[in-house]
A = this chain, B = another copy of it.
């Protein structure tokens, strides 16, 4: 249990952070070692968000196991534990040494995990041969994949203050430059409804698309029409497979998550919020850098604010530690073992995919271990990680565990 310090919470109370758990199973010098990463914290969830069942009681229905964290990432972590238990209960020797690194702050940007990984060379630099992270999803609902790329993330706040407190909209409406209105104008200036980022400079560092890369999208099993139908979206931002996958994997996106400080409950409150915090994030791709993006965003927001002439108090800043994008070499024995394990268990060669999401620690593992890192997903695309009614299919869970065991056995032959 590695202490990662405390955090002053939003209620003003300082609480200890959940420790990082480091575990070793086997230290046989004749065996190679796999480092497994997972996380046990989850996104916020309330029944009133629109869940059909209590988000914190695992509920199985029609082969689906519903519950917050079922797919992201408690299910996969438990899968590894079950696999090890099955070796033990059948008195089967595990052909490799295993190390675990489990954390409880992933959904908050893996607070202090980088420090742990860099600060414990005995654990992470020495005696690690491969790294496996199971914290993402199939591209579709049923065809498995192995993942070699991730987007990074920068989460920003824009604070706008127009008055020292909330104001009655009848008494004060028309006299102040409303914070919510200024924020609407700022957001509208940053991104088009079709997702195209309008902040000058943000696209500058994005790697150009090569013909070779374009070629890879052709064979990937992905139905854009199924994807659209599952979301119940009338129209997607792109109308063909390659363009849509590229929008999700290899181009940056800007998402507007919400407003803090404005009226957000049901009903009609007639207030002019005195202070509103707009929240948005940008997903990063190779070779975007934090500094460049932060400067571009902050300078754009302040420029737009100036041009609006409100003289409101406006601040734009990073809300948490950003996460870098990642792209791996897939010809390594680690990748080959995973690809072959999936092929054995599912009877189909997995697609090699990238992911739109962010697992910031991936890059740190790669840097510190100097070994091949891969993502071996257990869940499907429609699991609803971060959403209402998050679930993990029972078949994904059972086959996923078979894949883990097959992968361990294959690594044991390396």
Contact = CB atoms under 8 A, between A and B. Distances in A.
A170 interface: yes
Interface size bracket, A side: 35 or more
How many copies of this protein are present in the complex? Answer: 2
B194 A310 contact: yes
B44 A269 contact: yes
Contacts of A183: 184
A412 B388 CA distance: 64
Interface string A380-400: 010011111100000000000
Contact of A172 (B155, B175, B231, B238): B231
Q: What secondary structure prevails in chain A residues at the interface with B? A: loop
Contacts of A262: 256-259, 264
Q: Which of A155, A168, A265: most chain B CB closer than 10 A?
A: A168
A9 to B, nearest CB: 9
A227 B238 CA distance: 51
A191 interface: yes
Given A175-B237, A227-B175, A258 B165 contact: no
Given A165-B388, A193-B185, A234-B313, A247 B175 contact: yes
Interface in A43-61: 43-44, 49-50
A281 B169 contact: yes
Interface in A151-189: 151, 153, 155, 162-178, 180-185, 187-188
A62 B364 CA distance: 57
Contacts of A163: 231-233
Contacts of A312: 193, 233-234
Q: Which 3 A-B pairs have the closest CB atoms?
A: A170-B357, A258-B262, A264-B264
Given A175-B227, A184-B184, A268-B320, 12 more contacts: A162-B233, A168-B357, A171-B356, A172-B356, A173-B195, A173-B248, A173-B255, A173-B283, A178-B193, A193-B309, A257-B269, A258-B264
